[in-house]
Amino acid sequence: MSEEEIRTEISDRKDDITRIEEDAAKKEAGAEKKIEGVWDNKINETKTRLDAAEIELKEAVEEADKWVKKRDKLTVEVKSLKIQFDKYMKGKDKDLKDLLISIDKEKKTKIKALDKDIKKLEKQLEKIMDEKLKQKITE
């Protein structure tokens, strides 16, 4: 490979790194929206139902004599909804964390390979430059 070809290869590899970083940044920016699309409807629906159930439960407790059956029913529902809500929140957080870790690992893997190629090309370039210097010295 000539010096110019090696320089071009290095430049191409650096461009590849920039592209990978930009792709990873786009994926990271979209990661939250992707996870929100899966979880937010469930969370919002459950949160709305939970808030409404908590209000109803408070009213039922205040009028316990009239509303014993309703109070018992809502107590179970609120407990179930709280468990479901917490489960969804933890699931969303875990999925987002896993997705971001995966994106980061993919980025690092691609960059590592390109960095290895760049170092190899830089060594080749250095050898060519040394040979040219030796030729100039012998002339």
Q: Which of 45, 71, 46 is nearest to 60 (CA)?
A: 71
Q: Which of 46, 41, 40 is nearest to 93 (CA)?
A: 40
Q: Give the chain's mean pLDDT.
A: 91
- Residue 61 in contact with residue 71, Cβ under 8 Å? yes
Whether the pLDDT of residue 70 is over 90: the answer is no
- The predicted model gives 76-85 an average pLDDT of 97
pLDDT band at 60; cut points 50, 70, 90: confident
| Domain extents in the chain | 3-130
CB half-sphere exposure, 139, CA atoms < 13 A: 6
**Confidence (pTM):** 0.49
pLDDT band at 121; cut points 50, 70, 90: very high
pLDDT tens for 1-21 read: 899 999 999 999 999 999 999
Q: How far apart are CA 65 and CA 117, in angstroms?
A: 78
